[in-house]
A and B are shown apart, each in its own frame.
Chain A
Amino acid sequence: MSHVRLTDAEDNIVDIGNCRADFPALAQNVNDHPLVYLDSAASSQQPAIVIDTVAEYQRHDHANVHRGVHTLSQRATEAYEGARDRICAFVNAASRREAVYTSGTTESINLVAQSFCRPTLKRGDKILITHLEHHSNIVPWQLVCEQTGAELLVAPIDQRGQVEADTLIAQLDDNVKMLAVAHVSNALGTVLPLPDIIREARSRGIPVLLDGAQAVPHMAVDVQSLDCDFYTFSGHKMFGPTGIGILYGKEAHLEKMPPYQGGGDMILEVRFDGTTYNDLPYKFEAGTPNISGAVGLGAAVDYLQSLGMDRIAKYESELLAYLTGQLQTVDGVRLIGTAKQKASVQSFLLDDIHPHDLGTILDRQGVAVRTGHHCAMPVMDFYGIVGTARASLALYNNRQDVDALVDGLGKAKEIFSR
């Protein structure tokens, strides 16, 4: 890996910005303008090393995993399991038995809801989430509540889009059987006050699941130091492929949990009078997995580590401050989500222009932002708005991208002021 261009500390900021050249998709014109990609919170672009690693695997090494004695099957297994080891190291899992490949964050959360919570959940029990969750950290819990008679509780947010640790902690009681919260909000960029929340939940014996989809691409994540029970994330938001993600779970939990799906690869022995299940993590990986996706995710992890998560976090933090500051220079911009602790995301409105119209006008100038409710309708209801425009940053963005966005907003004002 030769992606690190560190010369000295002074150059750190510039260096990360240079990694833009590693991403082929960014070197194109869209609607006759250089692409300005500010939608990485929806899905990030992939560096050439990820694209090439997946292609090389497909060209030379593909076979089914864990099945054959032949050479390709062994190569595929090594690539698949080797990626798992590197992903474990990336989030500091204690053991490879604790990292289950899934199709992404959504499946990871559904797996925990159905396999960990459903068997023991009963009427009178509660699951606590927050008001800023993505739909994928709401609906799986609604489903399991419907199935068991348990109740879904929602911790409030304030006008800045922050979750107050004390307010949430006050909602923790003996009936709460799961606390499921975002690490970073996808719609608002809020970083949740996890240490305080998790410490209190731990002391009460309440298991904690973190939706880490918007955190892992932007900051160092250490599941042991967070001391969460489950941590979930998606490959395609961290410069890897779609259709692959991770469920990290503490081994003691995963051991007790029944399989989520039945099929090949998750069994030791199948008889018609009973089947014994495979060891962790394979118990939860029924069927032929997304091998190339896992290989790509492993390459993405290597890429992120070559840059260094702390450097990425520092670079993005300064760029986010620049983005927020520049947006505030535009007359008529209303920022949505102004938490003290934020990462990578700024939602906003411009005058009374509908976000959808704003998105179209920006797109015509090559600027890609997400518009709408961002799969977080309760957040939009909280602010009494139908949606926002959202600029989300990643390590490949730079100040020129922010300037292009601001220029685009000027164009939108021009069109709508006729």
Chain B
Amino acid sequence: MTSMAQTGDELQDLYRELILDHARSPRHFGKLPDATHSAEGINPLCGDKLKMYFRVDGDDRISDARFEGSGCAISVASASLLTDTVIGLHTSEALQYFSALVTRLAGVPSVDNENAGDGINLGKLRALEGVREFPSRVKCATLAWHALNSAIQRKSQPATTE
């Protein structure tokens, strides 16, 4: 029975209430007509496809963020949490969140960014930590963040988690 309980706990930990809330009611969902930066995130294996939009002002501050697309609860919740997090941040701070989150979830530092994200307080993004017990789902949780990184660094290819 212990194992049954553990199984349940891991799933409860993955699908925390905050995750389910953001998956059901994603924040900042839709197009951003005056976006200055955008990128797609595609997971070819499961078909998740997100488009992330950002408006970056002259002082390199992200003044608005939106996203559209479809995906599993984890990838949609993560994209929604991303928009909540990065609005108001300097682009370099946003990239630090990207690094900190990928490091935290995947257990390896991101090779895409020199800013290791040390000292970043992930705050409510820690709700995504449940994926660490589900290696096949880490890419769902990081998809939007890879797209953020591509958009800010203006990479022309869609971001993928593969």
Contacts and interface: CB of A to CB of B under 8 A. Distances in A.
Contacts of A33: 3, 7
B14 A372 contact: no
A119 to B, nearest CB: 33
Interface in B1-52: 3-4, 6-7, 10-12, 14-15, 17, 20, 45-48
A32 B140 CA distance: 24
A380 B47 CA distance: 11
B17 A361 contact: no
A162 interface: no
Interface in A285-321: none
B127 interface: no
Contact of B7 (A353, A364, A380): A364
A417 to B, nearest CB: 9
B106 to A, nearest CB: 17
A266 to B, nearest CB: 35
Nearest to A373: B47
Nearest to B2: A32
A354 B72 contact: yes
B7 A32 contact: yes
For chain B, what secondary structure do more than half of its interface residues adopt (helix, strand, loop), or is it mixed?
helix
A360 B136 contact: yes
Interface residues of A, number: 23
Counting contact residues on chain B (CB < 8 A from A), the size range is 20 to 34
A111 B70 CA distance: 36
A360 B74 CA distance: 11
Given A356-B72, A357-B72, A386-B70, A364 B47 contact: no
A102 interface: no
A353 B20 CA distance: 11
B119 to A, nearest CB: 32
A383 to B, nearest CB: 13
A386 B46 CA distance: 9
B73 A357 contact: yes
B11 A364 contact: yes
28 contacts: A32-B4, A32-B7, A33-B3, A353-B73, A355-B46, A356-B46, A356-B71, A356-B72, A356-B74, A356-B137, A356-B140, A357-B72, A357-B73, A357-B74, A360-B134, A372-B45, A372-B47, A373-B47, A380-B47, A386-B47, A387-B46, A387-B47, A411-B11, A415-B15, A416-B20, A416-B73, A418-B15, A418-B17
Interface of B: 3-4, 6-7, 10-12, 14-15, 17, 20, 45-48, 70-74, 134, 136-137, 140
